[in-house]
A = this chain, B = another copy of it.
Amino acid sequence: MSVTHARGFEAGGLACGIKDSGAADLAVVTTADRAPAVAAGVFTRNLAVAAPVQVSRAHLRDGSATAVIVNSGNANAATGEAGVRDARRMCELTASGLGCAAGDVLVCSTGLIGIPLPFHALEAGIPKLTGALNGATAAAEAMLTTDTVRKEAVASVAGTTAVVGGMAKGAAMLAPSMATMLAVITTDAAVEPDALQQSLTRAVDVSFNQLCVDACTSTNDTVLVLANGAAAADEPLAGRDLDAFTDALTSVCLSLAEQMAADAEGATKLARIVVNGARTVDDARRAAHAVAASQLVQCSLNGADPYWGRVWSELGASGAGIDPQLVDIAYGGVVVCRDGVAALHDEDALAGVMAQRDVTITCELKLGDASATVLTTDLSPGYIDENRRTS
């Protein structure tokens, strides 16, 4: 269901020939009545930004959008002015197929960088797609690249009849400040543009931005949300209802983020790095990110080796305020380091923890009350294999 879980949205996906494999590579999401919905977006902070991000930012300036067109298999990044023209033409083709304004179409691309879009494929594919909207499952499938499974999530807005649904893709380059990831989310809640942007920013901050697989920040990262208000004829959400909406949006983003981490390229472990007792949330996040991004910690996870010395070292090098002599480190609740030195522990219990696919590493800094959690994975030969050749 995902992006059509909310009332008044349609979606579809198909293979238009961008991917040599013949897999699906073109998706669209639109309001059912083709009227603009309230829309908001969060984009990559990379200065090297792909053409579709530039175009979507411009089209979002009025806080509304009717549709999102997504292609996979080509990032339309490092493609210069021609790339920007291609991204605009994708919006125009989508608009004429759906019967809306080109300025109300947002565009996302994901795939290889530096290769011009094969536009003939899109010229044939977009009209075909907009003419036969075959549903959210096909859309969620068509946005994938090296992902092995679709990522979809839904949630209800407590105390209202509104719901939120979303789809995403993301497999490598999962990093702080976003990842090679696209997410399109829809809701039938009525939300004002500024409120929608604030809700989305908060949701992304505690979900996608707390993912860190390889610390690479992509050129194309985009999270979009469309709110058509179909669930209610009355006023936009405010107060407690608006908070409930933010909670539902956050829950969808968190679920999609966890699905991404679980499907990260080559990953055999999903690790949750928890830092407690930091002086500030910024310190907690910085420390957790440093541990999560560490190639050496990730190698240890691959070997199911609870080598906490690397965790301790990364905390110290993170730039966060820590006193190394106070730090406790636990794997799945088994404390292996107490007050900065090795702690006696139950070896069998620890081996049991490390044998699991999901491992939680908890670091107690004992300096304050702030906490943060970052998701990461192990570093595996499969990751290298996936990324060593583009062809």
Contact = CB atoms under 8 A, between A and B. Distances in A.
Nearest to A112: B309
Contacts of A380: 384
Interface string A260-300: 00000000000000000000000000000000011110011
B47 A317 contact: yes
Interface string A327-352: 10000000001011110000000000
A43 to B, nearest CB: 13
Contact of A309 (B114, B116, B302, B315): B114
A374 B292 CA distance: 24
Contact of A342 (B78, B314, B327): B78
Contacts of A390: 300, 305, 307
A313 B45 CA distance: 11
A173 interface: yes
A299 B379 CA distance: 12
Contact of A47 (B45, B218, B322): B322
Contact of A78 (B293, B305, B337): B337
B78 A214 contact: no
Nearest to A325: B80
A316 interface: yes
Given A295-B295, A390-B305, A312 B48 contact: yes
Given A47-B316, A77-B309, A114-B341, 5 more contacts: A78-B324, A113-B310, A216-B317, A299-B383, A302-B388
